[in-house]
Structure 1
């Protein structure tokens, strides 16, 4: 969740059906262009138009040595696609996000998060993920997905509630109509399995042309699949594919063997030592400026707030909101325009959740005091056509014209699932805020007596140290550390 000032409200993770309709009426650049054709002026214009939105929605753009390195590698692999003859034709952005995420859009705009970069173990893997995304652009996959979405009239179907970030792919979420998609989101719709395989194959070709080891696509996918599985294990989830790569790249595990087959017996450089040196000190996990998940607590030192998620639920911190997810319901903490009246604020959130298709209003709006914070809340029972669900909005006045609210969905009669969380919200002191320290990647050299266990004990986590260390360093099965070789650990450091 971002740092939010009164003059810089982050929009709710919702969009009206009308905004989608406007986007759907627009011509889709690239929909009828042959795969592999050079970037057109229309595609370049579209990419430039949405570029600022992507930066805002995905954590902001990083600058400095880390970003320059990613840009150099990205431009070098992108030019292998034939979309343009000059590396400068591609805009490669390193995003300040703690989600494993990468994507590219028409016009030569390529994005990767620092979290995904931190999961990689060499430069060839970085080139692989960027090459994969460029492959989607070269094949005009996003344009074709947009056209299909418009034909199927995605978005604006019934209740535009809490967005896909909140609903995810849970059985409960599947019964609720998806929220309408913003124009920029239309460019990153989920790809089909065939499109993923095609992008993998193109990425392998680009790696080979650039002189990288083409097997790096497979090792990157293996690490990503392992990270997804570890996240599920640590969060107590059965579904190991949520959250997945960009929430749009299905089942990386099943694509590993295909990528290996495509690589064949090809060889090339991986530039492991260079990569390790260039990412040393990179923030790993949440950035305090966007709030941090610490066990079952979420703490935001800049917004000065803290709350505790219910037992059995896991949290995902995004740039616009933090979501709380479980089998018994979903919730999301975010914000909206506030004029000082919490009653009208809550009712406005309900109206936004309903969108243009259905009116949602609480049975009543009640006031409370939560740990010294003025609060207002209400619940509405909604029939979505398949079952009844309870939608709750619980808002807090933090003063100085700033309010935050939870928007939650539970099966009918179970709105109380999140009561403990609502009542845990509190304002934190400056001293408590000052104690929030980020985690960073630290590159260390294994000594003679070092083992996976000894290095893992240096990881700045209270749980899953060895599993985290193995996934972070691509050490699968019975693989061990090699003395004199560099490895990544995660430490607390300002």
Structure 2
């Protein structure tokens, strides 16, 4: 089985064990280290231990010229922090993920997704984002947050706390963790607003030291805020309901003005043309190897499957699962080890969701067939605070050793909202799978007769072409294109 769509439940067990082990330590690495002090051996060890988990969760480490360029820029800005004296003290990783994200962990490990790099418009913005993440490490934000969690004995219920305690008990807290996000992603969340502002300030300081235009911090935050708003519009949801796990920084709009004030009067290089030339051809959006979302449809050419989300729901793809989100419930499609028995498979999934304390069991397991695919499902009703909720596991046998399942949660009696999705699961043909191709960034030079409209018309999307083009290129208000200047468009790869 390819490694990028593996059993999510087993991954949570691994990550959960790491969290518990951390809580059991006498002290959290970095918690007693002064802000800005060099990386300690304990922090370096922590980074080495967590690095494989982060890389696996975010689609793997990209290689080649684009990854080398990101690494070069990241190491150059990271060394400005004083955490290390040499660029080799930092490992900067370009991740194969379609989520706009960047983060860093103690030990000099810095990460940015290709999707977020594709949103940027110059090298200074790339340096600013990576500098912001290094700022979190330099200020020991994550270590202090973990220490606070340790004092309050919260790490044992990390999923419940960081998913907003939506589900009210340990059983549903575990399901909430699985549906709302994954342990490595959650480990990078929940910085306070003051910590975010401090990291912005440090990032701007590093930009100045490296000779970059410090105003790049504000412009990249503006682009990220615009992208969040556009995503909300395209998905038919309120911008405020963006799932926090989809980005380590869910409130870029609120920090734009502050970042601009921090950079006031600053000048420096942006290296726009160099940056655009280096990211030309970068994969954009979903990687077909991880499945692709097209509107309300999800298609996975490797696993030869497709389904359609219910009306009013939107999807977010990750390397290990695709989540389906709406006001009336949440669900996720993933896979687990399969031995040829769907009933046992479903029972095992419920056990993983509930954990040892909950003993979560379905009322019954029903066998059925969906579009010629052997299938089965079970429903468990569980008390969550003052209300009842239904947990559904709907599984499909694609071969003797391969099954997939939806795990869903909805208010009691309302899980039927997912029935159209459950019934839409189907196999796809070899020919249909072959037609699934990725999108890539294509850097073009505006001609004398080009406008926003003419360049946007070349975008490889059937909807919102001009809006997508403007956000992608940081063109706000009535800004137009300048003849002779480079711009990004997104095209279907041949």
- 1:1-400 equivalences in 2 (<5 Å): 3-4=2-3, 9-11=7-9, 14-15=12-13, 20-26=19-25, 27-154=27-154, 156-157=156-157, 177=173, 178-179=176-177, 184=184, 187-240=187-240, 242-243=242-243, 247-400=247-400
Structure 1 length as normaliser, TM-score? 0.93
| 8 A contact 1:283–1:438 mirrored in 2 | yes
Post-superposition shift, 1:294?
0.9
Counterpart-to-counterpart distance in 1, 2:400 and 2:313: 32
Post-superposition shift, 1:438?
0.3
| 8 A contact 1:350–1:393 mirrored in 2 | yes
Question: Quick check: 306-315 or 13-22, which moved more?
Answer: 13-22
Counterpart-to-counterpart distance in 1, 2:485 and 2:144: 45
Question: Quick check: 228-237 or 172-181, which moved more?
Answer: 172-181
Counterpart-to-counterpart distance in 2, 1:153 and 1:364: 36
Residue 415 of structure 1 aligns with which residue? 415
| 8 A contact 1:20–1:182 mirrored in 2 | no
Counterpart-to-counterpart distance in 2, 1:88 and 1:19: 27
5+ long unaligned stretches in structure 2 = none
Question: Quick check: 467-476 or 336-345, which moved more?
Answer: 336-345
Deviations 1:409-462 (A, max 9, x none): 011111111111011111111111100010000001111111111111111111
Q: Check 1:18–1:74 CA distance in 2 against 1; reply closer, same or farther (3 A cut).
A: closer
Counterpart-to-counterpart distance in 1, 2:166 and 2:113: 29
Q: Check 1:18–1:483 CA distance in 2 against 1; reply closer, same or farther (3 A cut).
A: closer
Across the two proteins, how many residue pairs are aligned to each other? Answer: 486
Deviations 1:89-137 (A, max 9, x none): 1000000000000000001000000000000000000000000000000
| 8 A contact 2:136–2:142 mirrored in 1 | yes
| 8 A contact 1:334–1:404 mirrored in 2 | yes
Counterpart-to-counterpart distance in 2, 1:247 and 1:356: 30
Counterpart-to-counterpart distance in 1, 2:191 and 2:475: 29
Post-superposition shift, 1:151?
2.7
Counterpart-to-counterpart distance in 2, 1:93 and 1:306: 31
Post-superposition shift, 1:400?
3.9
| 8 A contact 2:57–2:184 mirrored in 1 | no
| 8 A contact 1:229–1:241 mirrored in 2 | no
- Could you say what secondary structure the match of 2:323 adopts? strand
| 8 A contact 2:94–2:113 mirrored in 1 | yes
Structure 2 length as normaliser, TM-score? 0.93
After superposition, the CA RMSD in angstroms is 2.3
Counterpart-to-counterpart distance in 2, 1:47 and 1:410: 37
Bigger helix fraction: 2
5+ long unaligned stretches in structure 1 = none
| 8 A contact 2:22–2:28 mirrored in 1 | no
Q: Check 1:469–1:5 CA distance in 2 against 1; reply closer, same or farther (3 A cut).
A: closer
Counterpart-to-counterpart distance in 1, 2:260 and 2:245: 19
Counterpart-to-counterpart distance in 2, 1:86 and 1:186: 30
